[in-house]
Every structure is written in C-alpha cells, then in structure tokens.
Amino acid sequence: MSTDDPSPVNPNPRHIAIIMDGNGRWAQKRFMPRAVGHQAGVKTVRKIVESCANNNIEVLTLFAFSSENWRRPESEVSLLMALFMATLQREIDKLHRNNIRLRFIGDRSAFPEKLQTKMAEGEAQTEHNTALTLVIAANYGGHWDMCQAFQHIAAKITAGELTEQDITEELINQHLSTANLPEPDLFIRTGGEERVSNFMLWQLAYAEMYFTPTLWPDFDQNSLAEAITSFKGRQRRFGHTGEQVLSQSVTP
Ligand code: IPE
Ligand code: IPE
Ligand code: MG
C-alpha cells in the first residue's frame, strides 16, 4: 500500500478508529447468511491490522461489538461470540510474534467467562510489545465509557482522594477506557452509514471523519490507503484560522 502524497498537509494518523460495518449486507447481496459476512469480515481485520503495522500506525481501534448489538437475534449474537473466541484463539500468538500489543475496551463482564479469560491472557501476553497497539472495542459504547469513568471519579471523591475541582478534561481522559492512548486522528466508517453509533463519543472530538460505501469485507489495503491519503490532505484547524495553521505549527 502506498500512502505517499506529493504535498501532504498532515503526517500519517497516529490513531485510526474504524467502525467495521456492512458484513450482513455483504452476505445478503450474495444470498448467503449474515454469518458468512462476519467470517469474511475477520479476513479484512487481518489485512487491515497487517497494513497498519507495516505503515507504522501507532494505534488501530476496531469496533467489533457495540453495547447495542445485544439487540440482534440471539443466533447472531451467539455466532459473533463464537467467532470472537475462535479468532482470538487463532490469532493471539501471531499478533505477539509481530510485536503487536492487544488491548480491549468495553464492558467485558457481560461476556462468557472463557472469553473474558482469553481476552485477559491476550492482553497480558502482548503487554510489552512495542509495534502497533490494536484496540478491540467489544461490548463498547461511548455512553458506557463515560459512565464508568464518572463512576470511578465519583468513588475517588467519596474516598477523599479527589475533590470536584480536580475534575478536568485530562482527569476524565485518564479514567476513560482509552487512557494513555492518543485520541483518534482518523475515524473511518465502512458500509455507507454516516453516523457514529455510540462509538468513542468523547475521544472523537477532533477526529477527521471518513465515510465510505465500501462494505467491510470488501475494504482492503488500497481502501485504507485512500482514507489515509484523504486524511493527509486535510487542514486540521483545532479552532484556529486556516492562516494561523499555515503560519505556525498548530496542535489541539
Ligand atoms: C458490522 O456489520 C459488524 C457488527 C456489527 C458486529 P453488520 O452486521 O452491522 O452489517 P450490516 O450493517 O447489517 O450490513
Ligand atoms: C456499529 O455498527 C457497531 C459495530 C460495527 C460493531 P451497527 O451496524 O451495529 O450500527 P447501527 O445499528 O447501524 O447504528
Ligand atoms: Mg451494521
């Protein structure tokens, strides 16, 4: 994949966050069950992880299962859980060999115990790896993330460890599930819908948004390169004027 552009405005994004959408429609278009689309989606995950690692992206966050996806038919939810487990069993060693650090965000307490154990093992095994950080958002919701952060902060206030004056943006950042990760620079949603679907609501404050009609199983290295090229050509102003951005180095 080439992400070279003759006159890029931005360097590569440090953190790319993706809503992997369109698996079901990809299968339905082929008169196949939605499960086939989810299986095809896992293959895309492999390709995109590899591609991000090769392009020295620091963090890739993938939305795998939302806190709202429990509303799907029981059969689809079970299939997704089984696929999640099988994929972790198959891929964790490979991620580790490639120096990739795995991290999960979301309320994992709702998952089967075996799956929770596997998730914890995967994180522990890859904890000290220094290439790409792969964040899997599973049973994740932006509202959940903020609630859990506020609960932890409130508990510290009750315990006398903090006062309400200590509540700053930075303190909230430190209590979100994404603590210690850079904010997403580039948000990608495949599948044609142009909404955020309760993904990283706080963290996306200044992400560049990129929507593509490409269904997730059809998204590939070239599609990712196109998204990155689009990102690199945009002027990020963070509230400044365009002229200020051109005349000085502007950061959030
Ligand atoms: C995204 O694909 C995968 C998950 C939500 C787990 P969908 O399953 O939402 O696919 P569409 O949107 O129905 O095509
Ligand atoms: C968002 O996709 C969640 C994931 C990709 C995991 P959905 O397909 O569930 O989103 P909505 O329901 O169309 O907003
Ligand atoms: Mg969908």
The full 3-state SS of 164-183, as one line of letters, equals HHHCCHHHHHHHCCCCCCCC
Q: How many CB atoms lie within 10 A of CB 38?
A: 22
Distance from residue 86's CA to the centre of ligand 1 (Å): 18
Residues lining ligand 1, judged by CB closer than 6 Å?
20-25, 65, 69, 80, 191
- pTM of this prediction? 0.96
Q: Nearest Cα to 76, choosing from 118, 37, 21, 117?
A: 37
3-state secondary structure of 141: coil
Distance from residue 213's CA to the centre of ligand 3 (Å): 12
Q: Tens digit of pLDDT for each residue in 170-180?
A: 999 999 999 99
Q: What percent of the chain has pLDDT over 70?
A: 96
Q: Tens digit of pLDDT for each residue in 141-172?
A: 999 999 999 999 999 999 999 999 999 999 99
pLDDT of residue 7: 64
Look-up of token digits 């995950």: 45
Q: Which residues, 6 or more positions from 48, have their beta carbon under 8 angstroms from its beta carbon? A: 18, 60, 62, 219, 221, 224
Q: E-strand spans in 116-161?
A: 133-140
The set of catalytic residues is: 21, 69
For ligand 1, mutation pick of 20, 21, 72, 136 (most atoms within 8 Å of CB):
21
For ligand 2, mutation pick of 71, 197, 201 (most atoms within 8 Å of CB):
197
For residue 98, the 8-state DSSP code is T
Query: Residue ranges of the domains in the chain?
Result: 15-247
| Amino acid (1-letter code) at residue 186 | L
102 pairs with which residues across the strands?
Answer: 134
Q: Tens digit of pLDDT for each residue in 3-39?
A: 554 567 899 999 999 999 999 999 999 999 999 999 9
Give the CATH number of domain 15-247; options: 3.40.50.920, 2.60.40.10, 3.40.1180.10, 3.90.1200.10: 3.40.1180.10
Residues lining ligand 2, judged by CB closer than 6 Å?
19-21, 63-66, 69, 193, 195, 197
Burial class (CB in 10 A: 0-12, 13-18, 19+), 133: buried
Distance from residue 155's CA to the centre of ligand 1 (Å): 36
Measured distance CA(173)–CA(155) in Å, rounded: 16
Residue 1 pLDDT > 60, yes or no?
no
If phi > 0 it is left, if psi is from -120 to 50 it is alpha, else beta; for residue 102 that is: beta
Q: Tens digit of pLDDT for each residue in 56-77?
A: 999 999 999 999 999 999 999 9
| Mean pLDDT computed over 232-242 | 95
Shortest-distance atom of ligand 1 to CA 25: 14
Look-up of token digits 């972790």: 88
What does each C-alpha distance from 239 to 213, 235, 250 come to in angstroms? 29, 11, 10
Q: 180: which 2 tokens?
A: 């210690």
| Mean pLDDT computed over 185-212 | 98
Ligand 1 atom 8: residue of nearest CA: 24
Measured from the alpha carbon of residue 28, the closest ligand is 1
Ligand 1 atom 5: residue of nearest CA: 65
pLDDT of residue 250: 67
Shortest-distance atom of ligand 1 to CA 65: 6
